[in-house]
Amino acid sequence: MKEDNKYMEELLERFFNGETSNAEEQELYALFESGELPEHLLPYKPVFDYFKSGLAEEVESSAKISEAIKPLRPPGRRYLTVLLTAAAVILMFFLLKPLLHTEPDPFEGSYIVRNGVRIDDLEQIRPELELKMQTALLQQEKANRLWKLTNETEDAYTTVEQEIKATYCDIIHRFPDENIREEIKDMLQIECDY
């Protein structure tokens, strides 16, 4: 009996040093199960119950729980999503590239009707279209110049008008009677600053 206890204590010591083999651990569990424990080893009983089976139960039930709360999509699926998204982006890029990077042809869709025949061939009519375009641009420039000239004339007219008004006001100002001054302003329909 004493020999047994000594052996068990030695096993116990080695167990907590992490030195026992699986077979020795089974032996130790069996010793604790047998029930004939010296008093000072009694507190170890629940500890070894745990190492024998409690631990595995804990791990298994926690595995069951984590299985239940596992994300619905396995990791492989996520890669598929990423791949498809990437493919879609690349496809969009190539589809939109012509729109993004090439200047639209200004003559696209143009045609010329000659003798009642519609000519759509862009290469054939391009020189003529370009000539027309040049003419149109020149005319637009001309129109712009005219517009500018008109504005300048108008400005000159406004200046003259201002000068005349100033002269009138100057003359009116020389009349000493205020009532007469007001009457003249009414007659000439002008406003003076003073």
Partner 1 sequence: MEMDQKQFKQEVLPLRDELLFYAQRMLGDRDESEDIIQEVLLKLWNMREELSHYSNVAALSMTITKHLCVNRLKALRRSDEDAENVTLASEAPTPYCRLEQKDSLENVMKIIGRLPGLQQAVLRMKHVEGYEVEEIAELTGSTPDAVRMNLSRARRRVKEIFFKM
Binding window for partner 1 (CB under 8 A); candidates: 51-59, 114-122, 140-148, 149-157: 51-59
Kindly state whether residue 47 participates in binding partner 1, applying the rule CB under 8 A: yes
Q: Measure the CA–CA gap between 188 and 175, rounded to whole angstroms.
A: 15
User: Among 19, 128, 141, 182, which residue sits at the site for partner 1 (rule: CB under 8 A)?
Assistant: 19
Q: Which of residues 108-127 bind partner 1 (CB under 8 A)?
A: none
Q: Which of residues 27-46 bind partner 1 (CB under 8 A)?
A: 43-44, 46
Q: Measure the CA–CA gap between 181 and 189, rounded to whole angstroms.
A: 12
> By C-beta, is 74 or 98 nearer to partner 1?
74
- 3-class secondary structure for 122-159? HHHHHHHHHHHHHHHHHHHHHHHHHHHHHHHHHHHHHH
C-beta atoms surrounding 32 within 10 Å: 20
User: Among 6, 7, 42, 61, which residue sits at the site for partner 1 (rule: CB under 8 A)?
Assistant: 61
Binding mask 62-101 for partner 1 (x = CB under 8 A): x--x--------xxx--x----------------------
∠25-28-34 over CA atoms, to 5°?
145
DSSP for 58-104? Answer: HHHHHHHHHHHTS-SS-HHHHHHHHHHHHHHHHHHHHHHHHHHHSPP
Kindly state whether residue 18 participates in binding partner 1, applying the rule CB under 8 A: yes
**Residue 46 Cβ vs partner 1, minimum distance, rounded to whole Å:** 6
C-beta atoms surrounding 66 within 10 Å: 9
User: Among 54, 105, 124, 134, which residue sits at the site for partner 1 (rule: CB under 8 A)?
Assistant: 54
Interface ranges with partner 1 (CB under 8 A): 15-19, 21-22, 43-44, 46-47, 50-51, 54-56, 58-62, 65, 74-76, 79
